[in-house]
Structure 1
Amino acid sequence: MSLPRICVSTNRRFLMTESGEPFFWLGDTAWELFHRLSLPEAEHYLNARRQQGFNLIQAVALAELDGLHTPNAQGHVPLLGDDPTRPNEFYFRHVDAIIRMASDKGLYIGLLPTWGDKVHARLWGIGPVIFNAGNARIYGRFLGERYRNDTNIIWILGGDRPAHGYEEVWAAMAQGITEGSGFKPFFTYHPMGGTSSSAVLHDADWLDMNMLQSGHCLMDAPNWEMIRADYERTPTKPALDGEPNYEHHPIDPYLRPWKPEYGRFTDYDVRKQAYRAVFAGACGHTYGSHSVWQMWSSRYAPTTFPSLPWDEALYGPGAQQLVHLKNLILAHPYFTRIPAPDLLPDVAPIPLPVDQEDRINPVRAAHPVATRDSEGTYGLVYFPMAGQSLRVDLRVLRGEVRSAWFDPRSGATHPIGMHSQGIVTFVSPIGGPDWVLVLKAEQP
C-alpha cells in the first residue's frame, strides 16, 4: 500500500498529504522497534497501534540501547566495523520489512537514521561516536537511495541531543538523504529534554518542522508555552511535542534517585500534555509508553524502572484515549485553527524557562488552554480539573453559541445549551478529572 507523502500546509502551520488532505500527526514512540522486535512481534505492535488510531511510529535505525553491538532479533548488527559507510544488508532488510509492513497498515514511520549518542559524545549514552560530516553524508545517501520510494517515511534527525556544535554533521546527513532520495523530503529534529529544535536549527533550510521534547522530569511541564514560543517564530514552521511525559514512566528519575513512592505518569498526565500542546497550536502530538519505547521484556535489562512488559503496556489507557483528540480536531475546520488565548481573558501565560526542580506546581497543573478557528465558527477549551470555573469570552465567536462537554477519556459529548455573546462562566463536571468545552457558533 503506497501512502501519500506528507508535506507542510500552505499556511506553514500544519501538515497535509500531497493532495491537500489534513494530516494530524498522532505518533507513538517505538525507538527500539527495528532493534529488539522480530517481524511477528513488530506486526503485533503495528496492528495494536493502528487499531488505537495512531498514524505515525517513531523508530531508530541505529538504536540507543547498544544498537551498534547488540544484534537485532534476527541476529544482525547494523554496521560492519561500526562504519557508517558499510551498512549491513541483512540488518536493513529487517528495517525494510517493518517499514513496508507499516505502510500496508496505513502507518507512517518517523525514521531516525541514528540515535544522537552516535554523533554527540557528551551527556549520556554508550555510543560510540562514529559520525562526522563526511560519513554522515554517505550514510544519509545510502538511506535516501534505499527508501526513496517508501512514501510513508518522515525523516527525524537528532535523537535526544542538542544540535549546537554539531550542525554540520546533521546538515550533511540531511544533504545525503536528499541526494539519495532525488528530491527534498520532509525533515524534523528530535532534541534533548526541555528544549526545541528551534533553539539552534529554526533557520536551517532543511528543517521543515520544529519538534520539542517536554520530557519526563516535571509534572505538567509547560509544553503549551514551548509550542507558543515556536508558533511565534519566523519563518513560520509547524511544531509539536515529539517526546512528552510517557505513560508508566517514573516521575523524574534523572535529577534525583527515584523511589516507587514518587509515582509514575498516568493517562491523565498524558492527556493534559497532549490537549494543551495541540490547543496551543501544535500540528499533532506524540504519545509514549515507558515500556514500549524500549520494547522491554524479560529478554533485556530494564532501563529506568519499566513496570510492565511492552506487550502489556501496549494497551495502557492513555494509548487508547488519544485517538479522541485526533478525531476532535479533524471534526472541525482544520487549516484555519489558531491558538485562542482571547477565549480565556483571565488566564496569563506561564513564563519560560521553568525551574526543573519545581516538579509539582498547582498553577501549571490547573492551566487551561483554548483553540478556535480564525473565522470564529468554533472554539475548544481544555479544562484540566474537575469542578474548574473559567470565564470564557464568547464574543470572539460568531453569533449565538451552542456548548457541550467533550470527555477526553471516551470521546463522548454531553450537550450544555445555547449562549448569547458575552463573557460566560463555565464549570467543568465533577467526574473526570479533565474536560473539553466545545463551542459551536450558530452562523448569523
Structure 2
Amino acid sequence: MQQPTLKSIIGMLILLICTSSLFAQQTPGLTVSDNGRYLMYEDGRPFFYMGDTAWELFHRLDREEADQYLENRAAKGFTVIQAVVLAQLGGLNVPNAYGAKPLKNNDPAQPNEAYFEHVDHIVSKAASLGMFVGMLPSWGDKWKQNEGGESGIFTVKNARQYGEYLGERYKDQPVIWILGGDQNIKTDEEAAIIEAMALGLREGDNGAHLITYHPRGPGMSSDFFHEVDWLDFNMFQSSHGARDHDNGLFTRHDYQLKPAKPTLDGEPRYENIMVGFYNQNDPKHLRFDDYDARQAAYFSLLEGACGHTYGHNSIWQMWAPGRDPVIGANVPWYDAMDHAGSFQMKHVRHLFESRPFTLLAPDSAFVLDGPETGGAKIKALVASDSSFAFVYSPRGEHFTVDLSQIQSRSVRAAWYDPRYGITDFIHTGDNTGMQTFTPPSRGRGQDWILILDDATRNFPVPGQDSE
C-alpha cells in the first residue's frame, strides 16, 4: 500500500480544519423566541430541546466509547447531551479514562489541560453530529459549603475564574450552560458563588450561549433565579418519586411567571430507575419503564414546555460491570442505550417538528370532557393561529373537544401512536360542534395523541413527510 506523503497529510489537515470551521459557521447559536416560550436558532429556525442525561460522560467514558454513545444519540434524534465537567461520582479525585483529573490541587482556578482535551473531543464530536452539549460546569456538591466529601472547593473569586475559563474555551462550540447540578440554594454565599460562575461564563463567551439552572428534585430554577438577567430559560427537576407524577404542573407554574421564559424538565423519571428510590437492593422492585418516560415527556410538553430531557438510570452514571451501581443500576450503559424509551423520544420530536410548534400554547378550555386528574389526565395544546391542535390521552380514555377552535371549516383528524411514531388518519370533516374521540386502545401504556389540522394547510405526516 502506498504511504501518504507529507503533502497529502498537510492537505488532509487543511481539509479537516476547513470542514470544522465550515460546520461552526453553519451551526448558529441559540436564543429565546420573541414570546419568551421557546428556544430558537439565531437564524430564526425553531429549536426543539430533546435532551439526554449523560452526567458522567466526560468523566467515565474513553473517546471511542463516547463516540459510540454520541452517534447512538444522534441517530435517535437527540439535540442536547447533558454532561458534567466536575462530575458527581468522585469527579475531583477519581481520574478520567486517561488518568487525568480536572483540576490541579482541586483548585477551580487551576484547570488540568489533559482533562479538558478529553472534554474538547466530546464537545467537538457532538457538534459534528449536530448536537449541543448541555454543559454543567460542576455537580452541585462541589459548590455546596461545609458538607464534607468534595464540597467547598468554590469561592466567589474562583467560581468566576472557572466560569471565564469555560466560557472562553467553548465560546465557539454549540454549548448550553447548565448551572446548579442537583442542588438548591440555601445561603447567600451559595447564591453568590452561582452568580459569580454565571457572570464568568458570560464574560468568557461574550454572551454567546444560553444559561439555565438544574435544581435538586423536585424543584425549579424559577424558585431561585427567575428574574435574574443571566438566566435565559428555566429548568426543573420533577425527579423519580412516583408513577403518574404530573410534571406538567412544574411547567404550568413557570408558564405563568413574568417575565415569560421558556421552561423544561431537565430530569424527569428515568427509565429503569427504581420507583421512589425504594429498596435499591431488591432486583424485583418496581422500576420506571418506557411508558413512564414517555408519559413524562408529553405531560410536560402539553403544558407548554420548550422541550424535554430523557434519562436512563444506567446511562447517567455510565454504569458497566466492575463499577459500583448507583440506585440499582443493573444494565450496562452500552446496552441501555437501546432501551425502548430512548427510541420513542425521536417520535416526540417528530410530532412537534412536523408543525410550527412555537405557535402552540396550552388550552384547557379546548377539551370539554375527559379525565382531569391522575395518570389518565387529558391535556391539549392549540396553535395561536388555530391551524392545528394536539390532545394527549395518557391511558387511551375518550374525550370531547370543541372543533370550532380549529380555524378552517375543514378539519383533518388523526391518531399519532407515540410508541412507534405511526399516524393513522381518522377522517376530514367540518369544524362545527362538539366531537368525542375514542383512542384505538385503552389502559396503562396505551397513550395516544389526537392531531387536529386545518385540512387546507397540508401539514406533513409526523416522522415521514417531516424529515
> TM-score, normalized by length of structure 2?
0.88
**What is aligned with 2:436?**
425
Are positions 1:293 and 2:316 aligned together? Answer: yes
Q: Post-superposition shift, 1:220?
A: 1.7
Counterpart in the other structure of 1:390 = 399
Cα distance in 2 for partners of 1:430, 1:335 equals 30
Distance in 2 between residues matched to 1:252 and 1:76, nearest whole Å: 35
TM-superposition CA deviations, 1:378-437 (whole Å, max 9, x none): 111111113x11111222212242211100011111111134322211111126611101
SS in 2 for 1:302: coil
Deviation (angstroms), 1:239: 0.3
Task: Give distance in 2, aligned partners of 1:34 and 1:184.
Answer: 22
Cα RMSD for the two superposed structures: 1.8
CA distance in 1, matches of 2:384, 2:281: 45
Residues 415, 423 of structure 2: 8 Å contact kept = yes
Q: Distance in 2 between matches of 1:260 and 1:280?
A: 35
Partner Cα separation in structure 1 for residue 264 and residue 349 of structure 2: 14
Q: How many corresponding residue pairs? A: 427
Select 1:156's aligned residue among 151, 160, 178.
178
Equivalent residue runs for 1:220-259 within 5 Å: 220-253=244-277, 259=282
Q: Distance in 2 between matches of 1:127 and 1:403?
A: 55
Instruction: Find 1:328's aligned residue among 351, 375, 380.
Output: 351
Structure 1 pair 44/389, CA: closer, same or farther in 2 (3 Å)?
A: same
1:369 to 379, 386, 402: 379
1:143 aligns with one of 158, 166, 188 = 166
User: Within the alignment, does 1:411 sit opposite 2:424 as a pair?
Assistant: no
CA distance in 2, matches of 1:304, 1:126: 19
Q: Deviations over 1:68-126 (max 9, x none)?
A: 00000010111111111111111111101110111111111000000000112478x94
Identify the residue that residue 125 of structure 2 maps to in structure 1. Answer: 101
Query: Aligned residue for 2:199?
Result: 175
The gaps in structure 2 that reach 5 residues or longer are 1-22, 458-467
| Alpha-carbon distance between aligned partners in 1 of 2:28 and 2:209, rounded to the nearest angstrom | 13
Distance 1:381 1:258 in 2: 39
The structure 1 residue matched to 2:72, chosen from 38, 42, 48, is 48
Provide the secondary structure at the position in 1 that maps to 2:287.
Answer: coil
2-structure distance, mates of 1:257, 1:72: 27
The whole-number CA distance in structure 1 between the counterparts of 2:246 and 2:223 is: 17
Distance 1:138 1:58, change over 3 A: same
Alignment-derived partner of residue 241 in structure 2: 217
Aligned residue for 1:303, secondary structure, equals coil
- SS across alignment from 2:203: helix
- Alignment partner, residue 29 of structure 1: 53
Letter aligned with residue 154 of structure 1? I
What residue in structure 2 maps to residue 356 of structure 1?
Answer: none
- The alpha-carbon deviation at position 240 of structure 1 amounts to 0.4
Runs of 4+ in 1 over 6 A off after TM superposition: none
Matched, 1:303 2:312: no
Secondary structure of the corresponding residue to residue 379 of structure 1? strand
**Aligned-pair identity (%):** 43
Task: State the match for 2:13 in structure 1.
Answer: none
Letter in 2 for 1:434: D
SS in structure 2 of the partner of residue 110 of structure 1: strand
TM-score (norm: length of structure 1): 0.93
CA contact (8 A) 1:380 1:438 kept: yes
* Structure 2 contact 144–151 (Cα < 8 Å) conserved: no
Which deviates further from its counterpart, 52-61 or 1-10? 1-10
The alignment partner of 1:155 has SS state of strand
User: Does the C-alpha gap of structure 1 residues 132 and 346 become closer, same or farther in structure 2, counting only changes over 3 Å?
Assistant: farther
Q: Give the secondary-structure state (helix, strand or coil) at the position aligned to 1:265.
A: coil
Q: CA deviation at 1:144?
A: 1.1
Question: SS in structure 2 opposite 1:134?
Answer: helix
Native 8 Å contact 1:217 1:252 kept in 2: yes
Aligned partners of 1:56 and 1:210: how far apart in 2? 15
**Structure 2 residue matching 1:245: 3-state secondary structure:** coil
Distance, in Å, in 1 between the alignment partners of 2:146 and 2:410 is 57
Task: Give yes or no for the alignment of 1:341 onto 2:364.
Answer: yes
More displaced 10-residue stretch of structure 1: 230-239 or 397-406: 397-406
Equivalent position SS for 1:220? coil
The partner residue of 2:141 within 117, 120, 133 is 117
What is the CA–CA distance in structure 1 between the aligned matches of 2:207 and 2:298, rounded to whole Å? 34
| Structure of higher CA gyration radius | 2
8 A Cα contact 1:8 1:14, kept in partner: yes
Task: Output the CA distance in 2 between the equivalents of 1:258 and 1:228.
Answer: 36
Is the 2:162–2:200 Cα contact (8 Å) retained in structure 1?
yes
Q: Write out per-residue CA displacement over residues 249-291 of structure 1, whole angstroms, 9 at most, x where no aligned residue.
A: 110116x666444311111111101012111100000000110
Residues in 1 aligned to 2:262 and 2:117: alpha-carbon distance in whole angstroms: 33
Contact persistence 1:118–1:129 (CA under 8 A): yes
Aligned AA (1:214): S
Helix, strand or coil for the counterpart of 1:272? helix
Q: Name the residue aligned to 1:277.
A: 300
Partner of 1:360: none
> Structure 2: how far apart are the matches of 1:164 and 1:346?
43
For the 8 Å contact 1:148–1:180, the answer to whether it is kept is yes
- State the distance in 2 between where 1:415 and 1:193 align: 40
> Which residue is equivalent to 2:10?
none
